[in-house]
């Protein structure tokens, strides 16, 4: 019996131990699940960090390999080793990035991987048209594809974070950074912002080919007084919400992982330290979950704005909602003292660190710090044939035909071409501004492209014709960063050579305009005509009596009254990217029918600026399309009101006829929808794409409303002789706006809906919105 009892007791003990073991196993599993959870992982990591290491995560430094600002960080290697750096930018090549990441994950105490950022703005080594040019394609699928290719190339080289897209709406072509945005319209700008974010990030950040995007510059950076970069911005909140905010908000809704602050002030407080902007609007109203970074030294620049010393502006920025400091090192060097003084809290610091670590977690860097460095065949990925072919296609779709007198284009039966101009054979200027990763020598110039197409059947002669400008100092400042144009002959000598070949030619192609660095950051201009030397060259070429085709290189709208009168044709090619010459030749010779449409208004005079299509009416309106002057009306003594080229404008080698516009109903109730249809016929001799644009006007509101607003567009291909019926659906959400109280509302009343090829030439019908 005793043995039986002992055996039973042992059995019970065994069962008890087994039960405990099972509990332990389940507890262990639960614990592992909690540890693998992102929030728990980050909280655990933060709990191990010293204050200095936390501030280090909030510190972004530059290695200085690529120039995008004035200051270069010091002691980078040692600071990474000590855990005082959260990310680094302006380093190019997987090898260099691996060396730096090695320091972070092998030599720092907590082995936290670094973010590696770069201004991948319109491509990596395969470079697409400048963003303003890209927007003129009106093709969000192609724009998204450009961002996808940029992400594939950059990530294969170790980059995991891009400071793009720039979504700043701008209506002032004097401002140099108009070249980096998508133009003047919030509806189109919002669509492009979402396309770019989705192209970079896809649906899953943990993929090894996705880039963390950074929407910039929040906010209102595109509206500086006088068009002068970094200058004061002052506007009503009604204008902010209805016109300038939408592209930022759209990018946030698309899932952008980070936001960069602007250099300018908003409501009297610099954006980098503006709590209303960074916390109330961005987080509370829009629900942004990512992290906010300053622009290059914009934190310490708040001292120049008069906001205090470095410690004061650093505390101001942190409390406002800034999470990461780019280059200023204000967070790193002053926040400990502010914490001791009770000006800031540890909770605020921890929240910033949490957001930065969260981005690293989502990118998969904790799982594999080298995940963006594992591509063994990145040379076959970067600048490959497939990517270059896509860049060529996108560039040709972005070119805008502004004039085509007597249908001189496409070129037909031409035997002798004179290619003349300082932009005709400069590979270094084809990619445009903010092409920091581009191998400029790999770009295809206009001369390269035309030689490829001309073959033996066409005689092609080239002459520079003039220097970029008569002012050698201005030319030096406008050709920085390896974009120099050799200035080894006088304008007189260059003109003589040009006129010699011009007089032997059947036709003259004049490649004129800006150099790539005449637009972009810190490249504002007061005179937005062609540079003086090139104006003289153009006029002399016109005097030969030979037909002149102007290839316009520019990063902004220019005043082109003289050129529009005298040139037979004008192709605005912007800066087309690495495949520039081939894309331009595609259009010149008719292999591609141009379909680009302007996304910025071209003024007749700098005195009209700011000028944009969706302006409001005055109490004394006068369209002034006939150029007449009428006293006590809103007009100029010396200029017409309307622009030279309106928003949405762009010609084709074929013609399109709009007819039979119809509305599904004339009275629309709230929460209902309205179908708008129109027939578009290709009546010309070429197949082609047309961008059909839909605008709406709200005639009566509790606040004044614009004369028209873009509310829809479709880019369609129509074969010659064919007709397509397009249908748009408008909902009451499309008619909403922010009222005086900043409530997002729709108001009943009379509306007009307009459809056409641009914002000027429209067919319209009216409808009524009722309750």
Q: Judge contact between 317 and 352, C-beta under 8 A.
A: no
List, in sequence order, every residue forming a beta bridge with 60; answer none if it has no partner: 87, 326
Catalytic residue among 295, 300, 325, 362: 295
Q: Judge contact between 261 and 294, C-beta under 8 A.
A: yes
Q: Judge contact between 276 and 242, C-beta under 8 A.
A: no
Q: Judge contact between 720 and 714, C-beta under 8 A.
A: no
What b/e string do you get for 44-74 counting C-beta neighbours within 10 Å, with b at 16 or more? ebbeebeeebbbbbbbbbbbeebebbeeebe
The span from the CA of 75 to the CA of 350, in Å, is: 25
Q: Judge contact between 168 and 217, C-beta under 8 A.
A: yes
Q: Judge contact between 275 and 292, C-beta under 8 A.
A: no
The span from the CA of 475 to the CA of 232, in Å, is: 27
C-alpha torsion sign, points 742, 746, 752, 754? positive
The span from the CA of 49 to the CA of 53, in Å, is: 6
Secondary element (H or E) of residue 492: helix 491-502
Instruction: Output phi, psi for 569, to 5 deg.
Output: -150, 150
687 is known as an active-site residue: no
The span from the CA of 349 to the CA of 336, in Å, is: 10
The span from the CA of 545 to the CA of 540, in Å, is: 10
List, in sequence order, every residue forming a beta bridge with 324; answer none if it has no partner: 293
Eight-class DSSP state of 241:
I
Eight-class DSSP state of 582:
H
Closest CA to 431 of 40, 662, 5, 134: 134
Token pair listed for 412: 């037909």
The span from the CA of 133 to the CA of 180, in Å, is: 9
Cα–Cα distances in Å, from 598 out to 133, 186, 288, 650, 654? 9, 14, 32, 6, 18
Sheet holding 709-718, edge to edge: 667-669, 763-770, 749-756, 688-698, 709-718
Q: Judge contact between 163 and 262, C-beta under 8 A.
A: no
Query: Cα angle at 636 between 570 and 527, to 5 degrees?
Result: 45
Q: Are strands 749-756 and 763-770 parallel, antiparallel or unpaired?
A: antiparallel
Name the residues annotated as catalytic. Answer: 295
């Amino acid at each position: 019996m005793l043995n039986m009892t002992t055996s039973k007791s042992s059995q019970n003990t065994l069962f008890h131990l087994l039960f405990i073991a099972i509990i332990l196993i389940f507890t262990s599993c639960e614990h592992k699940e909690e540890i693998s959870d992102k929030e728990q992982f980050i909280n655990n990591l933060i709990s191990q960090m010293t204050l200095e290491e936390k501030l280090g995560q909030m510190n972004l430094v530059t290695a200085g390999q690529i120039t995008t600002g004035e200051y270069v960080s010091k002691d980078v290697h040692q600071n990474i080793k000590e855990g005082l750096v959260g990310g680094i930018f302006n380093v190019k090549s997987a090898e260099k990035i691996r060396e730096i990441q090695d320091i972070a994950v092998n030599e720092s105490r907590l082995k936290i991987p670094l973010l590696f950022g770069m201004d991948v703005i319109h491509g990596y080594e395969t470079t697409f048209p400048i963003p303003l040019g890209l927007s003129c394609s009106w093709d969000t699928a192609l724009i998204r594809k450009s961002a996808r290719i940029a992400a594939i190339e950059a990530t294969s080289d170790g980059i995991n974070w891009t400071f793009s897209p720039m979504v700043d709406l701008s209506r002032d072509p004097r401002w140099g950074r108009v070249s980096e945005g998508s133009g003047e319209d919030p509806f189109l700008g919002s669509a492009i912002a979402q396309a770019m974010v989705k192209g970079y990030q896809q649906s899953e950040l943990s993929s090894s080919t996705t880039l963390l995007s950074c929407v910039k510059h929040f906010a209102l950076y595109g509206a500086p007084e006088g068009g002068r970069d970094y200058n004061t911005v002052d506007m009503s909140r009604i204008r902010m919400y209805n016109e300038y905010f939408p592209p930022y908000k759209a990018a946030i809704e698309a899932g952008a992982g980070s936001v960069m602050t602007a250099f300018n002030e908003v409501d009297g407080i610099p954006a980098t330290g503006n709590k209303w902007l960074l916390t109330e609007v961005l987080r509370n109203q829009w629900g942004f979950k990512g992290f906010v970074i300053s622009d290059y030294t914009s934190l310490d620049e708040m001292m120049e704005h008069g906001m205090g010393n470095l410690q004061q502006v650093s505390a101001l920025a942190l409390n406002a909602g800034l999470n990461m400091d780019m280059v200023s090192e204000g967070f790193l060097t002053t926040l400990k003292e502010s914490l001791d003084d009770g000006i800031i809290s540890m909770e605020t610091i921890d929240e910033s660190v949490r957001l930065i670590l969260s981005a690293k977690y989502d990118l998969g860097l904790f799982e594999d710090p080298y995940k963006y460095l594992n591509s063994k065949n990145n040379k076959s990925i970067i600048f490959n044939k497939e990517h270059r072919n896509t860049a060529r296609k996108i560039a040709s779709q972005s070119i805008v035909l502004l004039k085509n007198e007597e249908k001189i284009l496409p070129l037909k039966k031409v035997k002798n071409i004179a290619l003349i101009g300082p932009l005709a054979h400069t590979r270094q200027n084809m990619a445009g501004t903010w092409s920091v990763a581009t191998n400029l020598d790999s770009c295809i110039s206009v001369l390269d492209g035309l030689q490829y197409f001309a073959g033996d059947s066409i005689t092609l002669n080239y002459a520079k014709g003039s220097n970029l400008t008569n002012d050698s100092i201005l030319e030096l400042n406008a050709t920085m960063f390896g974009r120099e144009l050799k200035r080894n002959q006088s304008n007189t000598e260059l003109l003589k050579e040009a006129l010699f070949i011009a007089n032997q030619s059947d036709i003259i192609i004049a490649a004129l305009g800006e150099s790539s660095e005449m637009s972009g950051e810190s490249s504002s201009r007061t005179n937005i005509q062609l540079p003086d030397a090139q104006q003289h060259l153009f006029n002399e070429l016109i005097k030969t009596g030979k037909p002149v085709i102007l290839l316009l290189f520019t990063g902004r709208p220019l005043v082109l009254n003289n050129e529009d009168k005298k040139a037979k044709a004008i192709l605005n090619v912007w800066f087309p990217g690495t495949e520039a010459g081939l894309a331009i030749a595609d259009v010149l010779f008719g292999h591609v029918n141009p379909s680009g449409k302007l996304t910025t208004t071209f003024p007749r005079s700098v005195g009209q600026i700011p000028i944009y299509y969706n302006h409001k009416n005055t109490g004394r309106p006068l369209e002034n399309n006939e150029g007449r002057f009428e006293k006590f009306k809103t007009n100029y003594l010396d200029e017409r009101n309307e622009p030279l080229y309106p928003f949405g404008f762009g010609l084709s080698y074929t013609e399109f006829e709009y007819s039979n516009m119809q509305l599904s109903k004339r009275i629309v109730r709230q929460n209902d929808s309205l179908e708008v249809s129109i027939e578009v016929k290709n009546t010309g001799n070429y197949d082609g794409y047309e961008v059909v644009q839909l605008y709406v006007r709200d005639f009566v509101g509790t606040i004044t409303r614009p004369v028209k607003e873009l509310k829809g567009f479709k880019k369609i291909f129509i074969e010659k002789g064919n007709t397509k019926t397009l249908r748009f659906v408008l909902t009451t959400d499309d008619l909403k706006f922010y009222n005086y109280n900043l409530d997002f509302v729709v108001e009943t009343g009379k509306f007009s809906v307009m459809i056409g090829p641009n914002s000027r030439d429209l067919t319209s019908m009216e409808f009524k919105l009722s309750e």
